[in-house]
Structure 1
Amino acid sequence: MSGQAPEISSDVALVPRDLAPGVARLPRRRRSRHRPAWEEPPSRVGAVVKFVVLAGVVLAVVFPLWTVIVTSLSTQAETIRVGGLVTVPGELTLNAYRQILSGGIVTRAALVSTGVTAVGTLLSTVVSVLAAFGLSRPSSLWHRPILFVFLITMFFGAGMIPTYLLVSGLGLINSYWALILPGAVSAFNVLILRNFFMGIDNAILDAARIDGAGDWRILGAIVLPMSRAVTAVVALFYGVGYWNAFFNAILYINDNAKWPLQLVLRSYVLQGVTLPGSGVGQVDVASGAVTGLPIKMAVMVLAIVPILVVYPFVQRHFTKGVIFGAIKG
C-alpha cells in the first residue's frame, strides 16, 4: 500500500537521524570478536599484574635453588657464621664437591641412578608405546578388557606387602631390576599415548596398509614420527620418576653399594648419616661441626643438575604433547 512506510530489514546498517529523519534508529549490533578474550592484548594494569605475579613465581623458584648452590659452594665456617643456609656469597670453595666425589659412595650412587634412569626410561617408553598402539586399534584382540584392566590399576593397587612378596618371589631383592620393574608401566602415560594415537587419521593408516605395510611398519614409519612430542613428554615423565625414586631402594636394596643417588641424598639430608667410605667424616671432624651443611647441599645439587640439563630439550614439546595426548582429535 502506498500509505505504509517501507519495511526496514534488520540487516540494514544503522542510518543517522540527520540523513533519514523519518527512520527510527535501529539497535546497535554487537561486534563479534574473531578471537577469545584471553588472546587480546592486555591492558596496562593487566600487564603490570602479570609481571608482578610471574616475577613472584620466578623468585619463589630461583631463590631456593640459588640458596642451595651458594651454600654448597661456601665454607663450613661461613655456614656457622650465618647460622644456616647462605644467601649472600662470601668465601666460595669447591671443597664440598671434592669431598663427596673423592669418597666413592656418591659417585657410585650417581652412576647407579644414571643407569637405572636410562634403562628404565627406555624400557618403560617402549612398553608404553606398544601397549598404547595396540589399545588404540579397535581391531586388536581383547583391547577393551585389557584397557579396563589398565584403568583399574589407576585407582586400586595391591599394596606394599603383596608387591614386596612378588618382588621377593621373583628373586629381585638386591637387584637393580627391583628399581625398574615394579613401576615400569604407568597406566596414565599409556592412556595419554593411546588418546593421541586414536587421533591420527585412519585414512593415513589405511593407505599404508594398502601399500603393504604391516603394523610394525606403520608404528615405526608413520605413528612414531607423528607423535614425537607426546612420546618425548612421556619419556620425560618416566625419566624424572626414575631419577627421583628412592622408596623402592629402601624396600628392595639392602646393599648400600647399590643405593641410587636419591637414597644417599636422603641419608645425608634427612637422617644426617655419614656413609662409610664417603670421605665426609674427616671434614666434619676437622671443622668441629656436627653436621656438614655444604656437604648436604652439594649432594642436593648433584641430584638436581641432571634434570635441569635435560628438561630444556624436552620443554618445547611439553605443553603440545600433554594437550594432544589428553584431547582426542
Structure 2
Amino acid sequence: MSSQARGTLAKALTSRRSNVEWAGMLEQLCYMAVELYREGAPTIDLRDVDPYSKPRWLLYPYLETGGPTILFAEGGTGKSVLALWMGLNVALGPKDASGRPGKCAPVLYLDYETSPEIHAERFTALCAGMGIDAAARPPIYYRKMQTSLPQAAAAIRKEIARLGIGLVIVDSLGAAGDGPPEEAATVIPLFTAINRLEVPTLCVHHKRKGSARENQKDRLFGSVYYANAARIVWDCEAVVDPVDDKIAIALTNVKINNGHQLARHGLELQFVNEEEHLKAVKVRRLDKSELAKEPELAKGMSMRDRIMVELSQGAMTVAELAAALDAEESSVRARMTELKKKGAVVNLADHTWGMLSREEAE
C-alpha cells in the first residue's frame, strides 16, 4: 500500500474513531505484511509428508495437479482450441491415468489475444462436438487481460478463491509477461506469479519460426527459461487441411519433471461451419498409422513405431522396410532385433518379418 493510500485510509478511519493512532497502526501492519510475505512458506520435515495424499494427474497426460504445463505451436494451428478442449475436459470431470473419473473443477481462461465472443463460439462448438447441450455445459470462466500476469496476480488469486477455480489457462505466455519474452528477467517473475496462483496452469505459447531442425526444447519462442520453469512441455506439430476443415496435430512430450517421457500421440480437430459461424468442433485421437500418413507428422515418429505401422499392412523383408522408411538397412535390422526381444515381431520362414499381434504393436 502506498504512503498516499495509507494516509487516505487513516483519515477515513480517524473520522469514525478519532482516539486511535491509525497512521502508525497502518504503517506497522504494512511492515508486518511485507515481512511475512518475504518469509515465504514454512520449513517442513519431508518425513511427515505423504507423497500420495492427492492424485498426481488432473488431466492425463497433459496436466498434473500441481505446476504449469506449456502447450506450444505455430500460429493458426489450433492450439487455443486445443487448450480450451483440455479445459472443458477438466470442467466435466477428467479421468486419471487409470481411466478413473476425477473431480470436476471450474476453469478460468486468461486471454491476452482475442475476445470473449471468439472463445464463447469455440466453447459452444466444442460442447456441440462432444454432444453436450446448453443446460449441461460446465463452467468455463473468461477474463480479458489488460495487464501482465505478475501485475494482475493478486486479483486473479481472489477470483480463483471466489469461483473455486481448479485450472487456469493462460493464452499466451509471451503476452502475459512484463517485458520482452527473450529475457530471463521477464520469464522468471511470470512463472513466480503463475506458481503463486496455487492451481494447475495450462500455458499456451508460440513456436519460433524456422526452428524445425533444432532441439525441441529450444523451439519455444523467447528465453530458455520458459521450458525450464514448466513441469510438462508439449510440442504440437500440425497439418492444416483447409479443404476438409480439419487439423491433424502430433503432440510430442519434450519435457516432464516427474517420471518417464510421455508417449507421442495425435489428435484431430474437425471443424463444422455454417456460413461464417463455427457450429461444432469434434476432437478425436489419431492412431499411429494415421500419423504416419502425414509426411510432416511422420518425421517425428520413432523408427520402431514407423516399422510397426508398415508391418501392420503385412510381412516385409528388412530391405523392403528400409526402402519404405528411407532408412539404412543396418538401422532397420537393429530396430527389428529390439522389437523381437520385446515380443512385438517375429522372423518368418521366408525371411520376412511380421507383427506378432496387433495388440502388442499398440
TM-score range, shorter chain: under 0.3
Q: Taking structure 2 as the reference length, what is the TM-score of the superposition?
A: 0.24
Larger relative CO (CA 8 A, sep 6+): 1 or 2? Answer: 1
Greater C-alpha Rg: 1
Structure with the largest fraction of strand: 2
TM-score, normalised on structure 1? 0.26
More helix by share: 1
